[in-house]
Amino acid sequence: MKAADLINQIPVVDTFKKYGKVTRVVGLLIESQGPECSINDVCKIHVRTKNGHEVILAEVVGFKDEYVMLMPFTSVREISIGCLVEGTGRALEVKVGPELIGKVLDSLGNPFDGTPLPRGLVSVPTENDPPNPLHRPPIDCQLEVGVKAIDAMLTVGRGQRVGIFAGSGVGKSTLLGMIARNTRADLNVIALIGERGREVREFIERDLGEEGLKRSIVVAATGDQPALMRIKGAFTATAIAEYFRDRGMNVMLMMDSVTRVAMAQREIGLATGEPPAQKGYTPSVFSILPKLLERTGTSMKGSITAFYTVLVDGDDMNEPIADTVRGILDGHIVLDRALANKGHYPAINILKSVSRLMNHISAQEHVKAAERIRELYYTYAKSEDLINIGAYKKGTSREIDEAIHYEPLITRFLKQGFKEKVTLEESVNELIELANGGGR
């Protein structure tokens, strides 16, 4: 910054520090008298510990009468009545730059391994407004993800936002790892929100792999961390993706899972006195989801293609969070437990999944081939019970006879090994060949 710019900043610099003190701690919520602050401002709580002095970061989440309600980023164990609360006057910011590629960060943007941040990074706010709708170029380019069932049957466009819906243990993390390793995007930003502690390292080493990590930035917030850290993990990962998008890159953002972000916001909402609405979720949950999900997509400079996993409760695809997210995104991929139980991986149910942009970004021959395979698969699924019990007699229906012939070929086509990589061109060519009566 030039000397003249620094001089111009002098009149707007606040030279006074604003302080308050803790008056009450209830559960995860801290009440303080002062300081002067705004919603989402970060405050520093000065705590005396056995080892001396410690500073705990907290965020302003609301106001009650003349008191400030704070939620800490870490534990509240050391906080006591009378602790000094210092206002910073600004919201949470994280440092970002190309030097972070290959690193695993926490929700505050600090390396998980304890090493210092590289030099040359710039600070960016974690909460930003979505791009202006009129400044979003239409999506007209396919993006290869390296998974046959998606590239061929549910083609994704560059800048599209897609949800992966599944119950627990059906293969969401494995599918994300396949996409991260095989995609043609310039950079992966992966947010692991609310995961078990052991799963973070397992995902990085087993699912993502060394090659995948070299072109990725991972942001992790484990399930044992406070609710605010889990929410900030999602916003920090999105802010990092936005930084690289604004520099002309095509970024792949993967978040596992949006459901745990919603659960964390529910904890905060209930703690601040919000009434529970649908299945215990507070109104703020349904306002925060579009603010988060709409930040990805295309802009005038680059794009963020996003995959958000949704952990459906009891495999109910119509529960409140799944229903809300499905209405916001540009497509959904449903992982079916019945397919997973049969050893069909990835367990993508193509009949329940849809890409809303496939017809606009794919060649007509490709679209017709996908429709043909979907029709055959649906015919077989509709008559499967009759076929399995022997009630169907061959020759009764030409459509069912044809579906019975094609079913093993389609199933073989949709299956893919965890380490297997297939290009978009290979997937489409194999699909067209299968639809035209070929297939291996």
Residue 7 has a pLDDT of: 62
Q: Is the pLDDT of residue 429 over 90?
A: yes
Q: What is the pLDDT of residues 128-138, one digit of tens each?
A: 999 899 989 99
Identify the architecture of domain 365-436 in CATH.
Answer: Up-down Bundle (1.20)
Q: Is the pLDDT of residue 186 over 80?
A: yes
| Assigned token pair, 358 | 């496939």
| Assigned token pair, 61 | 């989440």
How far apart CA 374 and CA 377 sit, in angstroms, is: 5
**17-91 and 365-436, same CATH topology:** no
How far apart CA 241 and CA 94 sit, in angstroms, is: 12
Task: Tell me what the mean pLDDT of segment 349-357 comes to.
Answer: 94
Q: Is the pLDDT of residue 440 over 60?
A: no
Identify whether the C-beta of residue 217 lies closer than 8 Å to the C-beta of residue 190: yes
Task: Tell me what the mean pLDDT of segment 375-394 comes to.
Answer: 86
Q: Which residue's structure tokens are 């405050």?
A: 43
CATH of 94-359, one of 3.40.50.12240, 3.20.20.370, 1.10.10.10, 3.40.190.10: 3.40.50.12240
Q: Is the pLDDT of residue 438 over 60?
A: yes
Between vectors from CA 29 to CA 25 and to CA 31, what angle results, nearest 5°? 60
Identify whether the C-beta of residue 375 lies closer than 8 Å to the C-beta of residue 349: no
Q: Is the pLDDT of residue 62 over 90?
A: no
What confidence category does residue 437 fall into, taking pLDDT thresholds of 50, 70 and 90? confident
Phi, psi of 355, rounded to the nearest 5 degrees: -110, 115
> Beta strands 161-166 and 331-334: pairing type?
parallel
Task: Tell me what the mean pLDDT of segment 204-226 comes to.
Answer: 87
More confident site: 274 or 51? 274
For residue 129, give the 3-state DSSP assignment. Answer: coil
Least confident of 165-169, 407-411, 426-430: 165-169
How far apart CA 314 and CA 279 sit, in angstroms, is: 13
Nearest to 268 by CA among 75, 70, 403: 70
For residue 6, give the 3-state DSSP assignment. Answer: helix
What's the CATH code, domain 17-91? 2.40.10.170
pTM here is: 0.90
Say how many C-beta atoms besides its own lie within 10 A of residue 15's C-beta.
5
Locate the domains of the chain by residue range.
17-91, 94-359, 365-436
Q: What is the pLDDT of residues 220-267, one digit of tens each?
A: 998 888 889 999 999 999 999 999 999 999 999 999 889 999 999 999
Amino acid at 219: V
Task: Tell me what the mean pLDDT of segment 348-365 comes to.
Answer: 94
- Average pLDDT of the residues of the chain: 89
Crossing angle for the helix pair 364-388 and 398-414, nearest 10 degrees?
Answer: 110
Count of helix runs (H) and strand runs (E) in the chain: 14, 17
Residue 15 has a pLDDT of: 57
**Rg of the Cα atoms in the chain:** 25
Residue 10 has a pLDDT of: 55
Residue 353 has a pLDDT of: 95
Q: What is the pLDDT of residues 417-427, one digit of tens each?
A: 888 889 999 99
- Find the length of the chain: 440
Handedness of CA 379, 384, 385, 387 (dihedral sign): positive
